[in-house]
C-alpha cells in the first residue's frame, strides 16, 4: 500500500502564485490578508479551509483537488483501522466529503448569483424611476 503523500500546501500555493502574475499586495487583498502576512501562507504546511477557498478563488485553482486526487484504495494507515461507516470503505467516506465540499461551494456560488441578480433588479428599478 502507498502512504498518503505529504502535501506542503504553502509550497503548492507559492508555485501557483508565482505563475499568476499577481503581486503579494494584490494576492493578500484577494484573500483578505495584509501583504506582510502573505509569506506565512507560502511557508505554512497547513491552512484553514476558509482561507484555502479564498486562495483557490484568487489563483483560479482548486487546491482541494490536491487532496482529493489521492487513491484512497491504497492508503496506508498505521495501527488498527476501525471503519467509520458500515461498509468500512474509506474511499466512500472521503468521496462523500469531497462531494459535500463541492456541493457547499456550488450552493455558495448560487447564493452569490441570486444576490447579484437582486442587486441588478434593484438598480434597474432605480434607473426606471429617474
Per-residue pLDDT tens for 76-85? 444 444 444 4
- Residues 47 and 33: beta-carbon distance below 8 Å: no
pLDDT-based confidence at residue 92 (cuts at 50, 70, 90): low
Quote the CA–CA distance of 86 and 97 in Å, as a whole number: 16
What confidence score (pLDDT) does residue 29 get? 95
pLDDT reading at 5 higher than 80: no
What confidence score (pLDDT) does residue 102 get? 81
φ and ψ at residue 63, rounded to 5 degrees: -65, -20
13: which residues sit within 8 A by CB, 6+ positions away? Answer: 41, 42, 47, 55, 59, 63
Measured over all CA atoms, what is the biggest interatomic distance in the chain, rounded to whole angstroms?
72
The CATH superfamily label for domain 1-76 reads lambda repressor-like DNA-binding domains (1.10.260.40)
**Could you identify the residue written with the cell 487532496?**
67
pLDDT-based confidence at residue 38 (cuts at 50, 70, 90): very high
**Could you identify the residue written with the cell 505529504?**
6
- DSSP H helices, the chain, are 9-20, 24-31, 38-43, 49-59, 64-68, 90-129
What confidence score (pLDDT) does residue 85 get? 43
pLDDT reading at 117 higher than 70: yes
Q: Name the pTM for this structure.
A: 0.52
Amino acid at each position: 500500500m502507498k502512504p498518503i503523500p505529504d502535501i506542503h500546501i504553502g509550497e503548492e500555493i507559492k508555485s501557483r502564485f508565482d505563475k499568476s502574475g499577481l503581486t503579494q499586495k494584490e494576492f493578500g487583498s484577494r484573500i483578505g490578508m495584509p501583504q506582510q502576512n502573505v509569506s506565512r501562507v507560502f511557508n505554512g504546511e497547513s491552512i484553514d479551509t476558509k482561507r484555502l477557498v479564498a486562495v483557490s478563488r484568487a489563483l483560479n485553482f482548486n487546491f482541494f483537488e490536491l487532496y482529493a486526487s489521492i487513491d484512497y484504495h491504497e492508503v496506508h494507515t498505521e495501527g488498527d483501522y476501525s471503519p467509520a461507516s458500515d461498509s468500512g470503505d474509506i474511499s466512500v467516506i472521503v468521496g462523500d466529503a469531497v462531494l459535500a465540499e463541492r456541493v457547499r461551494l456550488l450552493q455558495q456560488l448560487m447564493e452569490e448569483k441570486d444576490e447579484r441578480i437582486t442587486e441588478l433588479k434593484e438598480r434597474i428599478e432605480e434607473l426606471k424611476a429617474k
